[in-house]
Amino acid sequence: MALQTILFDFTLDAEKTATSSQRQDVARVVRNELEHVFSQLELAYSMESLDGGYFAVLHENKETIITCRIFQKGLLTINVEYYLADGKEPLMSFDTMRTMELILRQKLDSDRSKYLPPIKRGGYIDIYMTSSACMYTFSSPKVIASMQNERIIEYDIDTLVYEARSPFQKIQIMHSKTLGNMLILDELQNIAESDLIYTETLMGRGIENYEGKEICILGGGDGALLYELLKEKPKHVVMLEIDELVMQACNKYLNTICGDVLEKRKTEQYEIIVGDCVEYMKKFIADGRKFDYVFGDLTDIPISGAPIGECWDFIRTIFEHSFKLLKPDGKFLTHGNGTSCLESLQLFEDQLRLLKPKVKFTTSKAFVPSFMEEWLFYQVTFA
Ligand SMILES: C[S@@+](CC[C@H](N)C(=O)[O-])C[C@H]1O[C@@H](n2cnc3c(N)ncnc32)[C@H](O)[C@@H]1O
């Protein structure tokens, strides 16, 4: 059950919607067509002529509301909104939507039109996410907003496999027909069964040699990076993950990508430490521990245990600590953001340029199936 909203729009010659009486004429054409398409509904009309030209059509018991707006500049929009209960037939089939669009386009002599299939709201399973987060810092020192680059992504999710709230985040595993099980943290897609390319690009498979190396993973709770790295025979890997519940969920529902590495917390080859990576990095620095590789596989907006006001400050803290843990020829490898998020990537690179001692970086990119976009990855070394 969900609220369904079907959106139509038509571009008309602006000359034909300039005056109130012209807009009334357009409204009449639309009304006739709506009466025909929705002949099973007893439509009651309320028509209002505002400056922008507007009329609304209401279903008698107000379960279905169809609003139509006619703008002076030649834009006509029709929104059909109704509640679809489980097991009921949709109000409009694909054929009906397509036919209504074509007929109105012809009758209104429109040179372009479009309809969007139903947007579903209020359902138990949320099938929409937004494309990569572009982070900006606003004037208040405490306020960080994660602004999306405003593209809606619709997934073919059919099952909510798991849902829990840990002390740190909302954890969901959803099943997508094409991507397999997906890990979603605080409404953001993290990794799916389809995403080996994410892990392989992050680790530079075939480019980096991990044999006999000492590695530290920051975050990485889905276990995929640890699983893939262990195949390359490193000397030892330590993983610092804050959220025990993420690992439990992934161990159960994402083992196609993490194998059985999350079953045990400690073996000869690796150790998983549950805690805030910043705290453990400080401890490692104090102990003089050094690594050949440090991986940043944290959530896009990492969970800050410390009262560091700005998200970018926190990310910079992670960079600074990582470089204190690296051997002189060591590498810091991390994911950045969607390649379309230019401002965010610029800010990310600005933080790298602020580091002392100076660092240099290269990038690689890959289209990550479950992100439905191209993602940028960084390889950072001492300059
Ligand atoms: C699931 S991994 C993978 C990241 C990913 N592929 C993405 O899309 O961002 C991210 C992990 O970072 C962990 N994390 C976030 N902040 C952390 C912190 N301060 N210390 C340790 N782990 C942290 C989260 O709990 C999460 O499990």
Q: Are residues 318 and 241 part of one domain? A: yes
Instruction: Compute CA 114 distance to the chain's CA centroid, rounded to the nearest angstrom.
Output: 25
Structure tokens at 188: 């953001």
Query: In whole angstroms, what is the distance from residue 251 CA to residue 274 CA?
Result: 15
Q: Is the pTM of this model over 0.95?
A: no
> What are the C-alpha distances in Å from 74 to residues 2, 18, 110, 295?
32, 8, 9, 54
At residue 143, the pLDDT reads: 33
Burial 330-353 (b: 16+ CB within 10 A, else e): bbbbbbbbbbbbeebbebbeebbe
- Look at residues 121, 153, 178 and tell me which one is the last residue of a structural domain: 121
Catalytic-role residue among 186, 297, 300, 329: 297
CB 285 within 8 A of CB 325: yes
Q: Are residues 331 and 230 part of one domain? A: yes
At residue 268, the pLDDT reads: 97
Query: In whole angstroms, what is the distance from residue 313 CA to residue 60 CA?
Result: 56
The response to whether residue 261 sits with its C-beta less than 6 Å from ligand 1 reads no
Domain ranges, residue 45: 2-121
How far apart are the CA of 173 and the centre of ligand 1, in A?
A: 15
Q: Are residues 182 and 243 part of one domain? A: no
Q: Are residues 23 and 68 part of one domain? A: yes
Q: Are residues 135 and 160 part of one domain? A: yes
Query: In whole angstroms, what is the distance from residue 172 CA to residue 185 CA?
Result: 6
What is the mean pLDDT, run by run of 10 residues, along the chain of 383 residues?
93 90 89 92 77 70 86 92 91 95 97 95 88 52 44 93 97 98 94 98 98 98 98 98 98 98 98 97 98 95 68 89 98 94 88 94 98 96 97
At residue 170, the pLDDT reads: 96
Q: Atom 2 of ligand 1 has which residue's CA nearest to it? A: 220
Q: Are residues 299 and 319 part of one domain? A: yes
Ligand 1, residue 298: give the atom nearest the CA: 12
Q: Are residues 372 and 295 part of one domain? A: yes
Q: Are residues 275 and 175 part of one domain? A: no
**Length of the chain in terms of residues written:** 383
Query: In whole angstroms, what is the distance from residue 183 CA to residue 171 CA?
Result: 7
At residue 52, the pLDDT reads: 59
The response to whether residue 190 sits with its C-beta less than 6 Å from ligand 1 reads yes
The response to whether residue 129 sits with its C-beta less than 6 Å from ligand 1 reads no
Q: Are residues 77 and 23 part of one domain? A: yes
Is residue 297 annotated as a catalytic residue, yes or no? yes
Q: Are residues 266 and 143 part of one domain? A: no
> What are the C-alpha distances in Å from 335 to residues 36, 114, 290?
53, 37, 21
Domain count, the chain: 3
The response to whether residue 191 sits with its C-beta less than 6 Å from ligand 1 reads yes
At residue 136, the pLDDT reads: 47
**The CA-based dihedral angle spanning residues 37, 39, 40, 41, taken in that order and rounded to the nearest 10 degrees:** 90
Which is it for strands 2-11 and 75-84: parallel, antiparallel or unpaired?
A: antiparallel
> What are the C-alpha distances in Å from 84 to residues 38, 121, 221, 305?
16, 10, 38, 43
Q: Are residues 292 and 208 part of one domain? A: yes
Which of 217, 279, 299, 334 to mutate to test ligand 1, by most ligand atoms within 8 A of the CB atom?
299
